[in-house]
Amino acid sequence: MTHSLHTFSIPVMGTGHSIDSPIRVAPYGIDSVISVVDDLLVEKIRKYYTEKFNLPYKNIPRSAEDGRAKRITAYLDLVHDIVHRTFDELKSQPFFEDNDKAKYFRMLPEGNPLKSVYQQLLKMTDENERSGLSQKLEAMMRPGSIDVNIMAKVDKLNFTKSGEPMSAEYSDGSAALRGFALSKLSSSLVLSAGFNPRLYNYLAEFKDFYRDASGNIKKKIILKVSDFRSALIQGKYLAKKGLEVFEYRIESGLNCGGHAFATDGLLLPVLLKEFKEKKEMLSSVIRPLIAKFYEEERGGFSEDWKFTAPRITVQGGIGTNGEMKRLLGEYDMDSTGWGSPFLLVPEATTVDKTTRTLLENAKEEDLYLSGVSPLGVPFNNVRNTGSKQWHQERIEKGKPGSQCPKGFLESNTEFTENPICTASTQYQLLKIDQINHSDYPEAKKERLKTKVLDKACLCDHLGNGALIQLGIQKESRSPQAICPGPNIAYFNGEYTLEEMVDHIYGRGESLVDGDRPHMFAKELRMYVDYLQDLVDQQEADPAEDKKLVRFRKNLESGMDYCLEIAASEAFEGENLRSIIDTVQKEKLRLEHIFSLAVA
């Protein structure tokens, strides 16, 4: 299994903001992830890029049979072709000039074998030696991986035009999976947002997720996980079907972009410590299950094939090279994910100018954990987006919510037989009417109505920034939503790709101030904020009380461990002092929260 050239990758960001990131960064050897939730957006982007590269285009209409899968396959095949075409052009450029080929090698991390050979080449003077090493070096070059994300729980069952339910393989998740599986990509599928047995079972239908005669796997599986127990359970489930997990991707429960899947107070460093201590289990427990499958189902596991220990990577709030060095060195992570800072890099992501300016100017208080997602999961957001303004105007006109043009997040059956979206006009009018006719006190009615009206049309609005930036749609008709992590508050400009990569690797002046709080400190504060909200919302319920007590216990244990980290030697650019200050403040706040709750 091929490992990455870099020690960072660009994770998925919304439905649109990384929709074409591989086209932008893969020729430079950088891995990135595309979301295929919105196949209608995917089709518009495909049309744009076929025209840009003078390639043939045939529309796959919304009414096409198995259209969702076909649109996804067609786009991924296009991205593959463009990336390899661009990479080959870059590769053919001459050495010893200031061109994209030189940029490819400059951006590699120090110590990378390709960079070492490149630096050796630059020192050579003999023409014959140069020629021989140049050929060797070009043969070693490769593009970054074009990875694809599927949110496992976004798996709506669909209906025929006559209203009959379609079979499971036509669900949104299964169709997206099929679209990736049938593409020409040799890359990874990132499964996120929970465990979906039906979707995991469907993986077994496609040969590309299994070893070929040489023992190679064309399409690898990456699981985004919140804790070690979840990783082991899911890894074993897949292994019994002969499916190997290439990478477990750990994400901070709160200090991330997009949907936030909070733990019960288990802080990221605590989770990383457990993964480091138990990572061997992810191989020792899994290997016998894989071998057994191949013995029983595929005629045996060849002695020529090698088991490779799964990669363990981490993402969520990383902001300095010092923090990355701790993750790679102290916790033995194989790589890191840097998301939100790349929203300020036009060479890497597709964000409209208005929204990018909003992010450049965003302060800590402008970034918040919102209730806008129809999934009912907390969603990292920034204030004053085009989407928020659009929804507010509709509320003021007495027509809240959206007409639901895409319907990817339809899941509520409170008022209807078929699911509808909680961000839709239909649902919001029905729900507000129900609240108005309830016996609740007026104050509670207002709180409940605010919660209903917070829901936003993410299906459509998260893709609009890309459409505006590429000139496909006008900004005046395309409300923009975006989902940055709070880490973006410390980055305040527009950056080139090379500037951001240099920042990640600690080359040159840092892009963030030295007093920026450590990623562990920031996450801790967010968890105490989150706990405060839980306490504020709870009603008399013994089960909830037990959860809060467990949450507090985990937080206090995590705080003690954070102090151990703060007492260690800091990596350059790592603000360990902020951890000490934050723990002291948050311990007091934690005591205050529970003293009021008891009172």
Tell whether 442 is covered by a domain.
Answer: yes
162 or 463, higher pLDDT: 463
Does any domain span residue 118?
yes
Domain of 362 in residue numbering reads as 352-511
- The continuous run of DSSP H or E covering 90 comes out as helix 67-91
Whether residue 598 has pLDDT greater than 70? no
pLDDT at residue 312 above 90? yes
Of 373-387, 404-418, 443-457, 507-521, which gets the smallest average pLDDT?
A: 404-418
Tokens of 443: 């104050």
Confidence of residue 540 (pLDDT cuts 50, 70, 90): low
According to DSSP, the β-strands at 367-370 and 379-382 are: antiparallel
> Number of folded domains in the chain?
2
| Residue 418 and residue 428 in contact, taking contact as beta carbons nearer than 8 Å | no
274 within a domain of the structure (yes/no): no
Between these two residues, 407 and 294, which has the higher pLDDT value?
294
At which of 105, 121, 144 does a domain end? 144
Per the CB < 8 A criterion, the answer to whether 582 and 528 are in contact is: no
Asked if residue 225 is part of any domain, the answer here is no
Percent of the chain with pLDDT over 90: 85
Which of 97, 112, 144 delimits the end of a domain? 144
At 418, list the tokens: 């078929």
Integer Cα distance of 211 and 213 in angstroms: 7
Q: What is the pLDDT of residue 597?
A: 62
Torsional sign, CA 347, 352, 358, 361: positive
pLDDT tens for residues 57-73? Answer: 999 999 899 999 999 99
Angle at which helices 67-91 and 172-181 pack, to 10 degrees?
Answer: 40
- The answer as to whether 516 is a domain residue is no
pLDDT score at 427 = 94
Residue 152: Cβ-neighbour burial (10 angstroms; 0-12, 13-18, 19+): buried
pLDDT, the chain, mean: 94
Give per-residue pLDDT as tens, 157-215.
777 777 788 787 888 899 999 999 999 999 999 999 888 999 999 999 999 999 999 99
Residue 450 has pLDDT above 80, yes or no: yes
* Percent of the chain's residues with pLDDT above 70: 98
Say which range, 23-32, 156-165, 413-422, has the weakest mean pLDDT.
Answer: 156-165
Determine the Cα–Cα distance for residues 340 and 195; give it in Å rounded to an integer. Answer: 25
pLDDT at 594: 86
This prediction's pTM: 0.94
Q: What pLDDT band is residue 411 in, cutting at 50, 70 and 90?
A: confident
Q: Residue 3 pLDDT > 80, yes or no?
A: no
Residue 78 lies in a domain: yes
Which residue among 144, 165, 195 closes a domain?
Answer: 144
Structural domain contains residue 479: yes
Whether residue 459 lies inside any domain: the answer is: yes
Q: Render pLDDT for 218-246 as a digit per residue (tens, 0 to 9).
A: 999 999 998 999 999 999 999 999 999 99
